[in-house]
A and B are shown apart, each in its own frame.
Chain A
Amino acid sequence: MKFERYGIGIAKGLALTLKHLFRAPITVQYPDEKLKISRRTRGNELVWFPDKCTGCGTCTKACLQGNIILVTHRGEENKFIVDKFELDSGRCIFCGLCVESCPYNALAMGLDYECAKYRRGDAVLDKEKLSLSEKHKPSAYFRPQFAAELPDQSLLLYNRKEGGQKLNLFPLSKRKRGPGA
C-alpha cells in the first residue's frame, strides 16, 4: 500500500515548506551583502607588475580588441622602459589572453567586479590604477601562485561550515553581516 496516494505526499510537502520557515533566507541583499566570488575569476581590469614587465609588447599583440596601449623607450643596457601602459576597461572583454600570453608573469586578472564609472574617461586605466594596491588585487586566473592567499568561494551568505543557516526569525531582515560584506 503506497501511502503517497492517501495524502502522505501532501503532508510531506507541507512539512518541507514548514522546515524552510526555520532557515536563514538565501537572499543576498546585494550592495549591503556580498558573496565571495571564485578565486579564478576573470575580474575587473588587469593587475600589472611594473618590476616584472619588460615592455616586450606580447600582451598588446594578444589583445583581440587592440585595447592595450604600450609606449616604451630604450634605457640603460638596452632595456625597454615603459612610459605608458594603458587600457580602456570599457572596451576590455575580459578574455584573459593578455594574461595567458605574458612570458614574464607581469600581468594577472583582477579580483574585483564592480567597474561602473560615471564618466567614460574614468574607464581608461593608466599605470598607477593598474598596479597592485590594497583595493586592486590579482585573481588566481592563470596565476595559481596567488590562489593560496585568496578566500574560498561562497555560494550562500551563510554556509554551514561557518555556523550559518541558523534560525533567525526576529527581526526578519536585520541579519548579522555575512563574510562577504
Chain B
Amino acid sequence: MTLLDQFQLILKSQNWPDWAVYLVPALVGILIIISVVLTVVIVYIWWERRLISRFQIRLGPNRCGPEGIFQPIATAVKILLKEDIVPEKADKLIHFIAPITVFVPILLIFAVVPFGEGAILADLNVGIVYVVAISSISVIGIFMAAWASGNKYSFISGMRSIAQMVSYEIPVVLSIVGIALVAGSFSMLKIVEAQSIPFIILQPLGFLIFFLGSLAEMNRSPFDLLEADSEIVAGYHIEYSGMKFAMFYLGEYGVALAYAGIITTLFLSGWQGPLLPPVIWFLIKVMMVFSVIVWIRSTLPRFRVDQLTAFAWKFMLPLAVINLVLIAIEVLVIPTAMQWIMILVNFGFAAVLILLWSKLFTLGGGRVEV
C-alpha cells in the first residue's frame, strides 16, 4: 500500500465526499513531486557546474552566495527576464507547443519513481514500461522545436535526435527486460523489493547497456550530438529564448534526474540502505549517478554521427540480446538461493563479450585506422 492510498483511506474515514477523496491526495502528491523535482534540478545545475569545473581544475561559480549556491537562481532570473523571440518564418503554434511537449513527459516520469517505501505517486504494475513509453514522447517535442524553428541547424539537430532515439531505445528496453525477468515484475516497487543484491552486481552488462543507452536518451555527453555547440550551435533550441528556453533547460536536467532515479531504482536497489531514512538513501544514490554522468561528460569527447549509430546497432544491440538470452537461461536453470553463481557467470560473460565485440566493432578487426 502506497502513502497515497493511506492518505485516501484517512480522508474516507473523515467522511469526505468521494471526488475529494480521489482528488485531494493526488493534487498534494503532484505538488510535492513537482516542487521536489524543481528543487533538485536547481541543485543539479549548481552541482554540475561546480563538479565539472573541479574536473577541469577550475573553480566554477563561487561568487553568488556561499560556494555559489545561488548562481542557478540568478541564471534562472536572467533567462526569465529575457525577451521571448519568435522567428518570422517559424511555425508559431508548434514553436509554442514544443517546449511544453518536451517538459511535461519528463515530469510524468516521476509518477512512477519510488522515492521511498510506498512513496510513489502511481504504483503501476507496468511501471517501467510506462517510463519507456512516456520518455520517448519528449523526442517528438524536440523534433517539433527543431522543425518549427525554421533553422537549418535546428533541423539537423532534430534529425540527429530521431536517429539517436530510434537506435538507443532498443538496447535500453532489452536490458530492462533482463531486470524484469529476475525481479519477476514490471512494477517499480516490486523491482526494488527484489534487490537484496543490487542488480548492478547481478547484471553488470545490463547495467552498462542501460547506463550508456540512457546517457544517449537524455542527450548527455558523449552523446550530445543534437546540441553539439561546436557544430550546430545549440541544436533544436537555437531559436528559443526566455521562458521557452528555460523549459528546455529545465527539461534537460529534469530528464537527467529522472533517468538517475530510474537507474537507482533498477540497478542500485532504490531506497534500500542501512541506518539513514529511505528518501535520503534514494537522493544520495541519485546524486552519485548524476556525478558519474558529469564525470563522463568532463572526460569523453563527442561521438561522430556514424559512430553514434554504429555503437548502438553494432555494439549495444547484439550485447543486449545476448545478455537477455543469458539472463533468461540463468533464471530458468539457477535456483534463486544460489545467486552468487549468476554473479560470477555474468561478470565473466560481460568481460568476454565486451572484449570480443570491441574487436568486431573496430574496422577490419583493428587493422585499419579510422
Contact = CB atoms under 8 A, between A and B. Distances in A.
A148 interface: no
Contact of B56 (A2, A6, A14, A20): A20
B73 to A, nearest CB: 18
Given A7-B358, A20-B57, 11 more contacts: A5-B366, A6-B354, A7-B354, A10-B299, A16-B299, A17-B295, A20-B55, A25-B57, A171-B67, A172-B50, A172-B62
Contact of B299 (A14, A23, A29): A14
B59 A25 contact: yes
Task: Please classify how large the interface on chain A is, using the bins under 10, 10 to 19, 20 to 34, 35 or more.
Answer: 20 to 34
A24 B182 CA distance: 45
A21 B55 contact: yes
Interface string B110-137: 0000000000000000000000000000
A14 B296 CA distance: 7
Interface string A1-36: 010011100100110111011010111010000000
A133 interface: no
19 contacts: A5-B358, A6-B354, A6-B358, A7-B354, A13-B299, A16-B299, A17-B298, A17-B299, A18-B55, A20-B57, A21-B55, A25-B54, A25-B57, A26-B57, A26-B58, A29-B59, A172-B60, A172-B62, A173-B68
Contact of B362 (A5, A16, A17, A27): A5
Interface string B45-80: 000001001111111101000011000000000000
B298 to A, nearest CB: 5
Given A5-B358, A23-B57, A173 B62 contact: yes
B216 to A, nearest CB: 16
B341 interface: no
Interface size class of B (residues with CB under 8 A): 20 to 34
Contacts of B67: 171-173
Which 3 residue pairs of A and B lie closest in terms of their CB atoms, listed nearest first? A173-B62, A27-B59, A6-B358
B27 interface: no
A7 B208 CA distance: 13
B36 interface: no
Contact of B58 (A16, A25, A171): A25
Nearest to A2: B366
